[in-house]
């Protein structure tokens, strides 16, 4: 396959270029190389390379800052996705849009299915949902992949933060009333590679399997890393943030199973491999 990866300098994008580049012709574009908010730039790049698939991982992801930068969040997550969808349709390629658990309000007590009603609460989630809708409207061959709690070697994430703060402070408070599923970038990349080779278009939920709270996740990180850190559970109210987080963002992987695709492995197993990768990665 010939692929374009947008957001190629991001946490997921860098692993997509590295992992898929071993087996496919991959063209990675960061913000400097491809401004997705420009319809002309999107059209020019796609017509020049004529890829089979566009893996659209570029996004405005500053969840809290989005509350005061609404226009910028929509410009990237909605308008940028529209521009790519139009350019993709012109060349007859497939578009895979990476979305988020934030499109749900978190009020459910059972895992969200792919076609459950969305109800994003913050600007970030609303702008990503707008991107989903534009892709669905403007592109005939699309995959929308919602993921959650992503961690990888590149960029900032919860696992890296815990590994830094734990030894520094010795004692930490971590919220225990937000429930979800962690996702290792490498596992998500391998799933996306499997998915985009098919013509089973639609919406997918993809995270490592299993469920935990942020508190349980932190405790497991220290346990697996062999660190002695005193972790205490606390409530979301004790750590108020500008943007509301979904208290329950567990997603059912119904579409993966019904389409006969291979699901992602359990998150704790993925975490072990990530810690090993982190230990051998260059700074």
Kindly report the CATH number assigned to the domain that includes residue 197: 3.40.50.720
SS3 50: coil
Mean pLDDT by 10 residues, the chain (283 residues): 97 97 97 96 98 98 95 98 98 98 96 97 97 98 98 95 94 96 98 98 98 97 94 92 92 98 98 90 47
Residue 256, domain member (yes or no): yes
pLDDT of residue 239: 83
pLDDT of residue 276: 94
pLDDT of residue 241: 86
Rounded-to-integer distance, Cα 6 and Cα 131, Å: 14
CA contacts within 13 A on the Cβ side of 58: 29
Q: Domain count of the chain?
A: 1
Q: Where are the alpha helices (DSSP H) in the chain?
A: 11-20, 39-49, 70-74, 81-91, 123-138, 158-169, 185-196, 214-225, 254-258, 267-280
Q: Give the global pTM.
A: 0.95
Residue 27, domain member (yes or no): yes
pLDDT of residue 282: 44
Residue 118: CB atoms within 10 Å: 18
Residue 82, domain member (yes or no): yes
Question: Does an H or E element contain 3, and which?
Answer: strand 2-6
pLDDT of residue 32: 93
Residue 137, domain member (yes or no): yes
pLDDT of residue 115: 95
Residue 6, domain member (yes or no): yes
pLDDT of residue 280: 59
Q: Which residues are catalytic?
A: 124
pLDDT of residue 235: 94
Rounded-to-integer distance, Cα 275 and Cα 267, Å: 12
DSSP string, 120-149: --SHHHHHHHHHHHHHHHH-SSEEEEEE-S
Domain span at residue 25 reads: 2-157+181-209+249-265
Residue 239, domain member (yes or no): no
Q: End-to-end distance of the chain based on CA atoms, in angstroms?
A: 31
Residue 242, domain member (yes or no): no
Q: If you search the block for the tokens 């007859």, which residue do you land on?
A: 92
Beta bridge partners of residue 96, listed in sequence order: 55, 143
Rounded-to-integer distance, Cα 120 and Cα 269, Å: 30
Residue 226, domain member (yes or no): no
pLDDT of residue 240: 85
């Amino acid at each position: 396959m010939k692929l374009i990866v947008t957001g190629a300098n991001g946490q997921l994008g860098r692993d997509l270029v590295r992992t898929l580049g071993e087996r496919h012709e991959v063209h990675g574009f960061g913000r400097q190389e491809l401004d997705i908010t420009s319809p002309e730039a999107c059209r020019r790049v796609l017509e020049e390379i004529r890829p089979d698939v566009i893996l659209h991982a570029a996004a405005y992801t500053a969840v809290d800052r989005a509350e005061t930068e609404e226009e910028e969040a929509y410009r990237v997550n909605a308008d940028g996705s529209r521009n790519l969808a139009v350019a993709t349709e012109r060349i007859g390629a497939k578009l895979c849009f990476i979305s988020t658990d934030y499109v749900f309000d978190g009020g459910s007590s059972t895992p969200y299915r792919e076609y459950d009603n969305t109800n994003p609460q913050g600007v970030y989630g609303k702008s990503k949902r707008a991107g989903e809708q534009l892709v669905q409207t403007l592109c005939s061959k699309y995959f929308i992949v919602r993921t959650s709690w992503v961690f990888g070697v590149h960029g900032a994430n919860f696992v890296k933060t815990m590994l830094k703060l734990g030894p520094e402070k010795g004692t930490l408070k971590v919220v225990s009333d937000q429930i979800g599923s962690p996702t290792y970038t490498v596992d998500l990349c391998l799933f996306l590679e499997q998915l985009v080779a098919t013509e089973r278009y639609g919406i997918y939920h993809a995270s490592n399997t299993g469920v935990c709270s942020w508190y349980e996740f932190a405790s497991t990180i220290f346990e697996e890393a062999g660190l002695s850190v005193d972790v205490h559970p606390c409530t979301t109210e004790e750590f108020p943030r500008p943007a509301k987080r979904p208290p329950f963002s567990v997603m059912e992987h119904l579409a993966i199973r019904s389409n006969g695709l291979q699901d992602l492995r359990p998150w704790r197993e993925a975490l072990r491999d990530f810690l090993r990768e982190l230990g051998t990665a260059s700074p």
